[in-house]
């Protein structure tokens, strides 16, 4: 079976998740990968056939999206041109992880397709949402990368097409311990602002910043790192707790590791507002902004002992089966991947 796999390249979560999924999918199908968007630091680890600018956004430094640079770097003509140029008719199935070029190309040409993403879970009315929903944002999520079939990912199985998070192998096999520091990943904030805030609180902080391009440096009790996958996994697995945006992958990995978690959803980012609502229902503290009162809330969290332990099992074999079932050639597939046994750390035998 020939599969075209489209991956959203804005942020590191989509790349990290798909790297794990491809280890399993490539055992069952011949896969070509398309990545659209360049704002990520994590390497996919597999050959990428198509690298395109896509339709993404640029992280700001004040808690939200840099809309000016996002618009300035966007070319509608290039996006439409890429949609019509991608040869989806050569593939038996198109898979999109919130990637618009592959999804729209398949939709316009009637090619078999399936969406696999955290955003796909938003098609269920059962997922947690704020009291006031944003209909415009809901429509954007629905039509950003449309597909006739959906596989959603969320913190819990809120619907029959929603799976629990894909936890990457580095996290499952990590040597989990507590060295007492707090890990910070708030990519929409300037690291200078964060350092100034954390110097006031007498614990060790390890801040990972998309805006810092040099080597690690220390500022009193704060160490600032550029985003680096190996260092981040080390810091996360050895921390007391993590302070991060209300994205999906990082909070999910934190819950899996049994670490303390506090989230600050990005401003005017509806998906993160919904994630914050879901996490808050699990008992995770949420800071709606980093303004007045934030320092007190942060200290309360540091002094607390609450941890939500999530037992996320390896669901990749089941997800791959669900993906392949979306192809017209599904009945011709006779091979099957048995679910691998997990070792004591929850790691699999996958390569």
Question: Is 1.10.1270.20 the CATH number for 169-302?
Answer: no
- What is the reported pLDDT for 147? 96
Q: Identify whether the C-beta of residue 36 lies closer than 8 Å to the C-beta of residue 74.
A: no
Tell me the Ramachandran region of residue 238: left when phi exceeds 0, alpha when psi lies from -120 to 50, beta otherwise.
alpha
Say yes or no: do domains 2-166+313-332 and 169-302 share a fold.
yes
Domain boundaries along the sequence of the chain? 2-166+313-332, 169-302
Give the pLDDT score at 57. Answer: 44
C-beta atoms surrounding 218 within 10 Å: 9
Using CA atoms, how far apart are residues 190 and 205, in angstroms rounded to an integer? 15
* Residue among 269, 280, 252 at smallest CA distance from 155: 252
pLDDT value for 339: 45
pLDDT at residue number 3: 97
Q: Residue 24 burial by CB count (10 A; 0-12/13-18/19+): exposed, middle or buried?
A: buried
Q: Whose structure tokens read 């996994």?
A: 233
User: Could you list the pLDDT tens digit for every one of the 351 residues in the chain?
Assistant: 999 999 998 767 788 899 999 999 999 999 999 998 755 556 777 889 999 876 654 444 554 454 445 444 556 778 888 999 999 999 999 999 999 999 999 999 999 999 999 999 999 999 999 998 999 999 999 999 999 999 999 999 999 999 999 999 999 999 999 999 999 999 888 889 999 999 999 999 999 998 888 899 999 999 999 988 899 999 999 999 999 999 999 999 999 999 999 999 998 899 999 999 999 999 999 998 888 899 999 999 999 999 999 999 999 999 999 999 999 876 655 444 444 444 434 444 433
Q: Tell me what pLDDT residue 292 has.
A: 87
| pTM (predicted TM-score) | 0.86
For strands 217-219 and 222-226, give the pairing.
Answer: antiparallel
CATH code of the domain made up of 2-166+313-332: 3.40.50.2000
- 190 touches 64 (CB < 8 A): no
pLDDT of residue 23: 93
- Selection from 138, 224, 114, 239 nearest residue 250 by Cα: 239
- Rounded Cα–Cα distance for residues 163 and 80 (Å): 32
pLDDT number for residue 9: 81
Per-position DSSP letters for 119-134, written without gaps between them:
GGGGGSTTS---SS--
Dihedral (CA of 295, 297, 298, 299) sign: positive
């Amino acid at each position: 079976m020939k599969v075209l796999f489209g991956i959203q390249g804005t942020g590191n979560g989509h790349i990290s998740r798909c790297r794990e999924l491809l280890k399993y999918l490539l055992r069952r199908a011949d896969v070509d990968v398309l990545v659209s968007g360049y704002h990520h630091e994590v390497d996919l680890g597999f050959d990428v056939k198509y690298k395109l600018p896509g339709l993404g956004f640029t992280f700001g430094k004040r808690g939200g999206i840099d809309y000016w640079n996002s618009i300035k770097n966007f070319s509608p003509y290039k996006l439409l041109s890429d949609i019509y140029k991608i040869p989806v008719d050569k593939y038996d199935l198109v898979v999109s992880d919130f990637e618009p070029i592959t999804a729209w190309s398949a939709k316009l040409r009637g090619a078999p397709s399936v969406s696999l993403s955290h955003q796909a879970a938003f098609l269920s009315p059962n997922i947690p949402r704020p009291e006031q929903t944003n209909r415009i944002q809901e429509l954007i999520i629905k039509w950003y990368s449309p597909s006739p079939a959906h596989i959603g990912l969320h913190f819990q199985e809120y619907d029959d097409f929603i799976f629990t998070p894909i936890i990457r192998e580095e996290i499952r096999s990590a040597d989990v311990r507590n060295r007492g520091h707090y890990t910070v990943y708030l990519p929409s904030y300037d690291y200078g602002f964060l350092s100034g805030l954390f110097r006031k609180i007498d614990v060790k902080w390890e801040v990972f910043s998309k805006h810092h391009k040099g080597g690690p440096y220390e500022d009193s009790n704060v160490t600032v790192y550029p985003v680096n996958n190996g260092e981040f996994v080390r810091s996360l697995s050895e921390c007391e707790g993590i302070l991060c945006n209300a994205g999906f992958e990082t909070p999910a990995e934190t819950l899996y590791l049994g670490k303390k978690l506090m989230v600050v959803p990005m401003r005017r980012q509806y998906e993160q507002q919904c994630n914050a609502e879901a996490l808050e229902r699990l008992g995770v503290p949420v800071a709606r902004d980093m303004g007045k009162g934030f320092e007190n809330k942060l200290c309360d969290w540091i002094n607390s002992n609450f941890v939500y332990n999530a037992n996320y099992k390896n669901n990749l074999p089941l997800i791959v089966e669900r993906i392949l079932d979306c192809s017209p050639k599904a009945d011709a597939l006779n091979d099957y991947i048995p679910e691998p046994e997990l070792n004591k750390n929850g790691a699999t035998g996958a390569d």
